[in-house]
Amino acid sequence: MSVYRRYNYRAYPTQGQRDALSRLYGACRYAYNWALDQRELMRRRHGRMQSYTQLSGMFTQWKNTPGMDWLLAVSSTPLQQSIRHADVAYRNFFRLYKAGRTHIVINHLTGKKRRTGLPRFKSRRDGEQSAEFTKSARFKVGHADGCKWGFLTLPKIGRVKLRWTRDLPSTPNTVNIMRHADGSYEASFTVQVDGETDTPKPLHEACGIDMGLDSLMSIVYTDGTREKIPHPRTLKRHARRLRKLDKQLAREKKGSANHAKTRILRAKAYSRIQNQRKDMAYKLASKVAGENQAVALETLNVKGLARTHMAKSLLDANWTRIIDRIRQLGVQYGRTVKRIDRWYPSSQICSICGRRDGRKPLDVRVWKCPKCGALLDRDWNAAVNILNAAGLAESLNARGGDVRRGLAQAGRNADARETGTRRTVSLH
């Protein structure tokens, strides 16, 4: 079974190539906005919309009209892809609309009404600009063995220099040339690879994971080991630098050279935060998915929690990206990834005797069960309950006692293991 994956490389275009890419980005934005405008115009007049094939033919004729010569100065393939992206955006909106997942929102400043999920027009002030080339554009990728540089040849752009960090497994199907808000460029290739990969051998049969803000991840394994991953606090470590740049940007006049320089410095600071978050999320996901045959996760309402006073720390924790990456690697490595019900009270149940003790304030990190008297760590207790709820925990030891609930006691060594255990089912 073959799958598609992305391979990203840093690009270093020359000044002339940057000017050509800027013109290409402007043409792609125009094509996308033109497609949205034509569809909305047809909907208002006739109550229906054009298909992608009709819009593509209309745009080809539109490029030949007087005054549209600048659209002929760039490659036609990215323009057609922009129209295709607009068509996909509308199809996604209709899918959500039919499922009842859209609603009307009102702008309290202007009083205008708008339905959520409806495709929006693109702007040149957007931080991210991109253009997609397919095989029909006949782009070429060149790289010599042992060389740290590669070259991407694009029509009407030229030979763009790439920082070559790893080889492509096969010939790419598409390439996106992107310009980020901090002024850096990146080439993203879509490559089709075989499903058979070098899957790492699992070290544990299963693990339960509790996501938190005090500790980013509390992991309990079925063999008795457990560990906590500390919160990286990426935004907090860069807060002083960001405050300084925000003040500097507010003092400078819009449109001035100094304002533009400070804006670039601010964008680079945020880009550094984003890269550190992504690196941390990918490394954690690789560790969890690579070392465990089965993973139990909780279902989190991150969008709802982001409306609370914990929003800044919660979004800095990057929960969504970590969980999504674990699921992706689970499919890639052939692992079992189970998610328990959102309303399961993992923090309220004693993992020793099963008594539900009710809600507890967030500052209570260790609590004592009033029934069995066990001293429990809040995070490890929740991880054990998640592992149990997913049906991945151990069940009986050599004497018939329940040992899976003993993994959360606060006084135990983090590397302690249960002895004399046997498993009732195989997880492989």
Residue 210 known to be catalytic: yes
Active-site residue identified among 87, 132, 205, 298: 298
Q: Measure the CA–CA gap between 65 and 59, rounded to whole angstroms.
A: 10
Catalytically annotated residue among 210, 316, 377, 394: 210
H/E/C letters for each residue in 138-200?
Answer: CCEEEECCCCCEEEEEECCCEEEEEECCCCCCCCCCEEEEEECCCCCEEEEEEEEEECCCCCC
Q: What is the pLDDT of residue 418?
A: 33
Strands 140-143 and 149-154: antiparallel
Q: How many whole angstroms separate alpha carbon 193 and alpha carbon 326?
A: 20
Q: What is the largest CA-CA distance in the chain?
A: 88
Query: Per the structure block, which two tokens stand in for 361?
Result: 């304030």
- What pLDDT does residue 413 have? 43
Listed residue (145, 148, 160, 209) closest to 12, CA to CA: 160
What was the pLDDT predicted at 249?
Answer: 96
Residue 37 annotated to the active site: no
pLDDT one digit per residue (tens) for the chain, 428 residues: 678 899 999 999 999 999 999 999 999 999 999 999 999 999 888 888 899 999 999 999 999 999 999 999 999 999 999 999 999 999 999 999 999 999 999 988 888 888 999 999 999 989 899 999 999 999 999 998 889 999 999 999 999 999 999 999 999 999 999 999 999 999 999 999 886 667 899 999 999 999 998 889 999 998 888 899 999 999 999 999 999 999 999 999 999 999 999 999 999 999 999 999 999 999 999 999 999 999 999 998 888 888 888 889 889 999 999 999 999 999 989 899 999 988 888 888 888 888 888 888 888 888 888 888 888 888 888 999 999 898 887 543 433 444 444 566 665 444 333 333 333 333 33
CB 262 within 8 A of CB 248: yes
Structure tokens at 32: 């996308």
Catalytic residue, candidates 132, 205, 379, 394: 379
User: 418 an active-site residue?
Assistant: no
Q: What are the domain boundaries of the chain?
A: 2-194, 205-232+291-428
The answer to whether 104 and 115 are in contact (CB under 8 A) is: yes
The pLDDT value given to residue 252: 96
Which pLDDT value is given to residue 37?
95
